[in-house]
Amino acid sequence: MSSTNIGASIITGSQSTTSSGGLGSGINVSALVAAAMANQTAELNVLQGQQSQITTEQTDLNTFNTDLQSLSNAVFALTDPAGQLTSTTATSSDPTVATASSSGGASIGNHTVVVNSLATTSTQYLTTPVATSSTAIPTGTLTIQVGTNTAVPIAINSGNNTLAGLAETINSSTAGVTASVITDASGARLAIVSNTSGAPGDLTITPPSGMGFTKAVTGVNGSATVDGIPIATTSNTVNNAIAGVTLNLVSANPKETVSIATNADVTTQASAINNFVTAYNKVVTDLNNEFAIDPQTGQPGPGASDSTLALAQSQILSTISFSMTGNGSVNSMADLGITMNNDGTLSVDNSTLSAALAANPSAVQNFFAETGAGSFGQNLSTQINAFADPLTGSIATDIAGLQQSQSSITQQIADFQTQLTTTQQQLTAQFDQVDTVLQELPLLLQQTQQQLASIG
C-alpha cells in the first residue's frame, strides 16, 4: 500500500504534511482539506467578485453624481431669473463727474445724469492748537450732536484731559463720529468727523469753557437730476435711482449732462454658457466611459447594466436637441453657436455666441428661462433635476440601492468566512486523526509479524 503525494497546503494556517510515498509516510492534510473545501472556496470567490464589482460601480456612480451636481449648478446659473444671464454693465460718458456700476435686474438702455452738487460730510476741529497730543486740556463736558439726533455728552476729567485721551473716549462712545489728533507745525488739534454724510450728519459741538471748535465742513445733501428728475441724496453713492444701477457722484458740474449706458454683460453671459457646456461634456464623457467596450476584453464598462445610467444618457443627450418656437432669433442651441459632436459632447463657436448675446440678450434669457412654458431652459432643468436632485433624483436612489447591496454582500461574505473557518477546523481535525493512524500502521504491522513468528 502507498499514499499519493497531493502537494502543499492551500489553506493558510493549516497543518501541511507532504507524503514521500510508502505505508506510514503520512498524508498532506492541508491539501486534502483544500480539496474538500474547493467548492465552498469557489463560492466565496464569487461573492468577493460581486463585492468588487459593486465597489467599482459605487466609485463610478459617485464620481458621476459629483459631475452631475456641477452640471445642475451650471444649469441653475442659466435658468435663475437673477442669474448670470441677466448680468449687465454700466458705463459713463464722463467718469470725472459720475461713474456707474450695475447688478442683476438693470434694464438695458441709456440714461442722463446731471450732478449739481455733492453731498458733504460735516467736520469740526479744535480752534486753538495745543503743544502736543498729551498736553493737558480743560476738564468739563463736551456735547456732540449729529443732525437732529440726541446730543451725546462726553466727560473730560483727569483721566482723559489730553487730546489723545479725549479722542479715545469719543471713539468709544455712541456719538456717531470719529475723532483723531492732527499735528502740524502749529501744534496738535482734535478733528471730529461725522460718520453720517449729508444734512443728517451735520455736527453741532458744544465744548467746555476754555475750548473752542471751528466747523470746517457743513454737512449738506447732494443734488442731481436723473433722466430729468431732481433727486436729493445724503450720500454721493446713489442706489436705484436707476433700477439695478449704482451711481457714484464724483464732482459737481451743473452744466454737463452725463450719459449712463447699461448693456448686456456679454463676457459674463458667455462665460456662464461655456461653464454649462464644460459641465455637460464632463457628464457625457462619464456616461460614455460607463458603456464603452474594452478593446482588450471586449467587455462593456461597469455601468453598462445600470438602467438608470442608460436612461440618463438617453435623456441628457436629448436635452440639447430640444428647440422652442416664437423666440425671435434664438430657438435652439445651434442659434447660439453650440453644436453636438459625434460622441455627444458639445462644441461652442464663441464668435456666434457673443454675437447672439450682443444682438438679442433678452431672447437668450427667454431661451434659458426655467419659468417659460416650453422653453429650452424649462426642459433642461426638468430633465437634469430628475437625475440630479440629491433627495429624490434617480441617481441618489441608485447610490442608496448600491449601498444596501454592498452592506448585504459584505455581511454574506463575513458569515461565509466564519462558516469556512469552522469547516476548515473540523476537516483538519478529521484528517489529522487519519494521518495519525496511517503513521502508526508500520509499528502495528511489525508487532503483528512478530506475534505470528512466535506462534510458528
> What percentage of the chain carries pLDDT values higher than 70?
92
Query: What pLDDT is stored for residue 41 in this prediction?
Result: 79
Query: What pLDDT is stored for residue 8 in this prediction?
Result: 32
Q: Is 194 exposed, middle or buried (0-12, 13-18, 19+ CB in 10 A)?
A: buried
Q: Is the pLDDT of residue 397 over 90?
A: no
Of the listed ranges 6-15, 289-298, 366-375, the least confidently predicted one is 6-15
Shared-domain flag, residues 369 and 283: yes
Residue ending a domain, choose from 329, 364, 388: 388
Mean pLDDT of all residues in 313-342: 91
Contact 274, 336 (CB under 8 A): no
Establish if 435 belongs to a structural domain. no
Establish if 434 belongs to a structural domain. no
Alpha carbon distance 379, 377 (integer Å): 5
Q: Is the pLDDT of residue 23 over 50?
A: no
Shared-domain flag, residues 112 and 229: yes
Query: What pLDDT is stored for residue 372 in this prediction?
Result: 62
> Would you call 230 helix, strand, or coil by DSSP?
strand
pLDDT in tens, 399-455: 777 677 778 878 888 877 888 888 888 888 887 777 777 777 777 777 777 777 778
Of the listed ranges 109-118, 179-188, 383-392, the least confidently predicted one is 383-392
Q: Is the pLDDT of residue 337 over 60?
A: yes
Report DSSP letters for 239-304, one per residue: EEEETTEEEEE-S--TT-PEEEEEEE-HHHHHHHHHHHHHHHHHHHHHHHHHHPBPTTT-PBPTTT
Query: What pLDDT is stored for residue 18 in this prediction?
Result: 42
Cell of 189: 488739534
Q: Is the pLDDT of residue 182 over 90?
A: yes
Shared-domain flag, residues 205 and 351: no
- C-alpha angle with apex 306: 305 to 308, nearest 5 degrees? 150
Establish if 49 belongs to a structural domain. no
Contact 313, 307 (CB under 8 A): no
Q: Is the pLDDT of residue 20 over 80?
A: no
Q: Which residue has better confidence, 398 or 138?
A: 138
Query: What pLDDT is stored for residue 26 in this prediction?
Result: 65
Query: What pLDDT is stored for residue 129 in this prediction?
Result: 96
Q: Is the pLDDT of residue 364 over 80?
A: yes
Q: How many CB atoms lie within 10 A of CB 293?
A: 11
Mean pLDDT of all residues in 279-305: 83
Residue ending a domain, choose from 235, 264, 293: 264
Query: What pLDDT is stored for residue 16 in this prediction?
Result: 42
Alpha carbon distance 78, 91 (integer Å): 24
Contact 198, 119 (CB under 8 A): yes
Establish if 97 belongs to a structural domain. yes
Alpha carbon distance 124, 142 (integer Å): 13
Query: What pLDDT is stored for residue 104 in this prediction?
Result: 67
Alpha carbon distance 261, 228 (integer Å): 16
Shared-domain flag, residues 251 and 382: no
Establish if 426 belongs to a structural domain. no
Q: Is the pLDDT of residue 25 over 50?
A: yes
Shared-domain flag, residues 293 and 228: no
Query: What pLDDT is stored for residue 242 in this prediction?
Result: 92
Shared-domain flag, residues 280 and 375: yes
Shared-domain flag, residues 208 and 313: no
Query: What pLDDT is stored for residue 217 in this prediction?
Result: 97
Helix axes 394-455, 376-388, angle to 10 degrees: 30
How many CA atoms does the CB half-sphere of 215 hold within 13 Å? 16
Establish if 151 belongs to a structural domain. yes
Establish if 229 belongs to a structural domain. yes
Query: What pLDDT is stored for residue 303 in this prediction?
Result: 67
Q: Is the pTM of this model over 0.85?
A: no
> Would you call 107 helix, strand, or coil by DSSP?
coil
24-28 contacts, C-beta under 8 A, 24 or more apart = 24/438, 24/439, 24/440, 24/441, 24/442, 25/438, 26/435, 26/438, 26/439, 27/3, 27/431, 27/434, 27/435, 27/438
Establish if 416 belongs to a structural domain. no
Shared-domain flag, residues 282 and 336: yes
Which runs of consecutive H residues, i.e. helices, occur in 144-194?
Answer: 163-171
pLDDT in tens, 35-77: 877 788 788 787 777 777 767 776 777 777 888 888 888 988 8
pLDDT in tens, 8-17: 333 333 344 4
Tally of structural domains, the chain: 3
Strand-pair partners of 124? 192, 215
Shared-domain flag, residues 114 and 127: no
What confidence tier does 21 reach under pLDDT thresholds 50, 70, 90?
very low
Contact 33, 428 (CB under 8 A): yes
Alpha carbon distance 307, 38 (integer Å): 35
Q: Is the pLDDT of residue 175 over 80?
A: yes
Query: What pLDDT is stored for residue 1 in this prediction?
Result: 33
pLDDT in tens, 81-101: 888 888 899 999 999 999 999
Q: Which residue has better confidence, 13 or 275?
A: 275
Q: Is the pLDDT of residue 300 over 70?
A: yes
Query: What pLDDT is stored for residue 13 in this prediction?
Result: 38
Alpha carbon distance 260, 243 (integer Å): 12
- C-alpha angle with apex 201: 195 to 203, nearest 5 degrees? 95
Q: Please give the mean pLDDT across all residues of the chain.
A: 85
Of the listed ranges 131-145, 300-314, 363-377, the least confidently predicted one is 300-314
Residue ending a domain, choose from 264, 290, 323: 264
Mean pLDDT of all residues in 211-236: 97
Contact 85, 75 (CB under 8 A): no
Phi-psi region of 24 (alpha: psi -120 to 50; beta: other; left: phi over 0): left
Domain that holds residue 373: 54-83+267-388
Shared-domain flag, residues 272 and 382: yes
Shared-domain flag, residues 254 and 140: no
Shared-domain flag, residues 300 and 161: no
Mean pLDDT of all residues in 125-146: 96
Report which of 44, 69, 13 is spatially closest to residue 387, judged by C-alpha positions. Answer: 69
